[in-house]
Amino acid sequence: MIRVELRKLARRPRTWAALVLIDLLPTVVAVLLAVTHIGPRPGQGPAFLSAVLANGALFSVAALAIVLPLFLPVAVAVIAAESIAGEAQIGTLRYLLIRPVSRLRLLVAKQIAVFAFVLVSVILVAGTGFLVGSAILGHDASTPATSIVSVSGSTLSSTQIAIRTVLAVGYVGLSMLGVAALAILLSTMTDSPLSAALGSLAFLVGSSLLLTLDAARAIKPYLPTRYWLSFIDIFRDPILWRNVERGLLLQLVYVAVFLGAAWANFSSKDVTS
Amino acid sequence: MTGAGKSTVISTNGLTKRFGSVAAVDHVDLNVREGDIYGFLGANGSGKTTTVRMLLGLVLATSGQIDVLGERMPANARSVLPHVGALVEGPAAYVHLSARRNLSLLDASGPNSKRPDRSARVDDALEQVGLGGVGRKHVRAFSLGMRQRLGLAAALLNGPRLLVLDEPTNGLDPQGIHEIRQLLQELSRRGTTIFLSSHLLSEVEVLCTRIGVLDRGRLVLEDEIAHLRAPTGRTFVRTSDPALAVRVLDGRVAEQRHDELVVSGGDPALINAQLVSAGVRVSELAAERHSLEDIILAHTRAGSDRVGGPT
């Protein structure tokens, strides 16, 4: 069943459109930077962007930072919201269930397919970022091409950078799982994928908004987007694990709660679509 | 046909589904036997589709029991449903994929479906419903009738022992309807039990061996068609000399409307001989049978999607 769901996802034009769009934005940013050489001043704009003019290889990380706040979660929410509601909307859900596919198997297969999409999109963004960055962004003569300055100011070797980029890719991917799980939960509640996608986005927007509010300090550590940008800490020297660990734990709790609720709802639901 | 010695394929006991305070299906006791072509009739909103969905485990019953192919549903869905093919409330498919790909994905989704003969199974199902030539075309380009056939193909994919079909000829042209009817009759001859939910009386009349009639969630009638449609013992006569006929038949005319008479009692052949020898010109004469429509109207109330005030 998992293979079937992956095949379905891979054969949907929408999947590829989403991947292309996610990749397009960082590419456009890279081209603009390369053409104009106007980078944001350090400390402003998306993380790492100020550094990529000096070292194009770092653009894979910058690309992640560019798509992380909005593009990536939107794509993930749209794809995950399709999972059950999409089948319900076109009527194929009933035919799957009377095949029979057990409801648990269907839900798990959908989750795995969505998680696979998250993983592929994150890797693709980082990969494209690396290639585009290396190809068109400069190598600053003042730093050796094989090393790079970490966020903390010390120098990292390219091996260290490679390892840390892989870690960052993994962290960003896991950060998206909370959104994915919420969209899947909403997807079991409605027959409209659009409502499920918008519902999960509303949750994210709400979370981001509360993060800017001082009065919300007490609940901030529990907001799903709180630790998203903590992947930057992976590029400190030494790696600052504290927020990364908290971010991972938080995402896992969200995933467990949302998927548990999705199962509770779906297992006893009347399928009338 | 009698029910003796045939095993039960679908049986429900006190099957009830409530949506809030409304009982959509109310203590329904269905009994479908092996080899039946069972016509499940009812007006729109009478609970047909909800019942079908409960039989297949899509909707969970509020109370009551369901046995399909001798096993309790939905608890044993895993062992029952592989032997059941169904078309529920119209076909559904991924329109960006071809008919073949759709069936092949569906086949791969099911339990214990063996990959080596998948392609043969898919071809066979498409061939049976007359879509052999368009298997590679995207479903997006399919007409309503073709989609309906594809839905049927999906139902036939398992080589099911029981077919549950909800309005299977919806969207088909007269030729298509005839073709599908022949297919169903052929499947029935080969031993498939068919549960056909419909509101088209004519379709049920020509195809089915038994019917069950649902009215506002209750099963108001379940019987053999042959039994229901048996001669009533009266004779229908159309004649251009009605006054003369009434005199000849001497008080045996039960009803008269213009040139149509209903004669009670007696052998139609005898009545005919009597009339003709008396010089009455008979243009039509037959043993009276109730039409399915009369039978159903007698058992049901006004269309249940009519929403009136309290009665």
Residues B29-68: tens digit of each pLDDT: 999 999 999 999 988 888 999 999 999 999 999 999 999 9
> What is the arithmetic mean of pLDDT over B292-309?
71
Interchain pair B90, A91: CB under 8 A: yes
A6 belongs to a structural domain = yes
Asked if B100 and B222 sit in the same domain, the reply is yes
Which range (A151-155, B166-170, B216-220, B225-229) has the least confidence? Answer: A151-155
Asked if B204 and B103 sit in the same domain, the reply is yes
Pick the residue of B19, B52, B58, B95 with the most A CBs within 10 A to test the interface with A by mutation.
B58
In this structure, the number of other CB atoms found within 10 A of the CB of residue A39 comes to 17
Q: Which residues of B3-42 are buried (b: 16+ CB within 10 A; e: fewer)?
A: eeeeebbbbbeebbbeeeeebbbbebebbbbbbbbbbbbb
pLDDT score recorded for residue B303 = 53
Interchain pair B84, A98: CB under 8 A: yes
Nearest chain A alpha carbon to B58: A271
Q: Taking chain B, what is the end-to-end CA distance rounded to the nearest angstrom?
A: 41
A64 belongs to a structural domain = yes
pLDDT score recorded for residue A88 = 95
pLDDT digits (tens, 9 = 90+) for B242-253: 888 888 888 888
pLDDT score recorded for residue A141 = 46
Asked if B79 and B100 sit in the same domain, the reply is yes
pLDDT digits (tens, 9 = 90+) for B58-95: 999 999 999 999 999 999 999 999 999 999 988 999 99
> How many domains does chain A fold into?
1
pLDDT-derived band at B311, boundaries 50, 70, 90: very low
Interchain pair B58, A270: CB under 8 A: yes
Asked if B179 and B276 sit in the same domain, the reply is no
Q: What does the alpha-carbon distance between residue A191 and residue A91 come to, in Å, rounded to a whole number?
A: 10
B89 belongs to a structural domain = yes
pLDDT score recorded for residue A50 = 72
Asked if B94 and B40 sit in the same domain, the reply is yes
B3 belongs to a structural domain = no
Asked if B110 and B103 count as a contact pair (C-beta separation under 8 A), the reply is no
The whole-angstrom distance between A128's CA and the closest CA on chain B is 28
Contact list in A for residue B81 (CB cut-off 8 A) is: 98-100
Nearest chain A alpha carbon to B55: A98
Nearest to B109 among A90, A101, A271 (CB): A101
Contact list in B for residue A100 (CB cut-off 8 A) is: 57, 77-78, 81-82, 110-111
Contact list in B for residue A8 (CB cut-off 8 A) is: 94, 105
B200 belongs to a structural domain = yes
Q: What does the alpha-carbon distance between residue B178 and residue A261 come to, in Å, rounded to a whole number?
A: 48
Longest dimension (CA), chain A: 66
pLDDT digits (tens, 9 = 90+) for B268-286: 888 999 889 988 899 999 9
- Look at residues A200, A223, A231 and name the one whose alpha carbon lies nearest to residue A68: A231
The encoded tokens of residue A115 equal 């998680």
Pick the last residue of a domain from B205, B228, B251.
Answer: B228
A272 belongs to a structural domain = no
pLDDT digits (tens, 9 = 90+) for A89-135: 999 999 999 999 999 999 999 999 999 999 999 999 999 998 888 88
B129: domain CATH number?
A: 3.40.50.300
Give the mean pLDDT of chain B.
88
Structural domain span for residue B279:
234-288
Asked if B268 and B135 sit in the same domain, the reply is no
Interchain pair A270, B111: CB under 8 A: no
Report, as ranges of residue numbers, the positions in chain A whose pLDDT lies below 50.
141-145
Q: What does the alpha-carbon distance between residue B32 and residue B46 come to, in Å, rounded to a whole number?
A: 19
Interchain pair A13, B106: CB under 8 A: no
pLDDT score recorded for residue B45 = 84
Q: What does the alpha-carbon distance between residue B291 and residue A269 come to, in Å, rounded to a whole number?
A: 41
Structural domain span for residue A111:
2-267
Contact list in A for residue B59 (CB cut-off 8 A) is: 270-272
Asked if B220 and B241 sit in the same domain, the reply is no
Interchain pair B88, A98: CB under 8 A: yes
pLDDT-derived band at B292, boundaries 50, 70, 90: confident
Q: What does the alpha-carbon distance between residue B82 and residue A1 come to, in Å, rounded to a whole number?
A: 15
B301 belongs to a structural domain = no
pLDDT score recorded for residue B1 = 44
Is A1 in the B-facing interface, judged by CB distances under 8 Å?
A: yes
Q: B128 versus B266: which is more confidently predicted?
A: B128
Pick the residue of B73, B109, B144 with the most A CBs within 10 A to test the interface with A by mutation.
B109
Q: What percent of chain B has pLDDT over 70?
A: 95
B93 belongs to a structural domain = yes
The whole-angstrom distance between A116's CA and the closest CA on chain B is 19
Is A206 in the B-facing interface, judged by CB distances under 8 Å?
A: no
Asked if B240 and B148 sit in the same domain, the reply is no
Interchain pair A272, B58: CB under 8 A: yes
Asked if B244 and B213 sit in the same domain, the reply is no
Residue numbers of A between 99 and 118 with CB closer than 8 Å to B: 99-102
B303 belongs to a structural domain = no
> How many domains does chain B fold into?
2
- State the ipTM, two decimals: 0.85
Longest dimension (CA), chain B: 77
A39 belongs to a structural domain = yes
B305 belongs to a structural domain = no
Beta strands B8-19 and B63-68, pairing class: antiparallel
The encoded tokens of residue B75 equal 């608890």
B311 belongs to a structural domain = no
A273 belongs to a structural domain = no
> What is the arithmetic mean of pLDDT over B207-235?
91
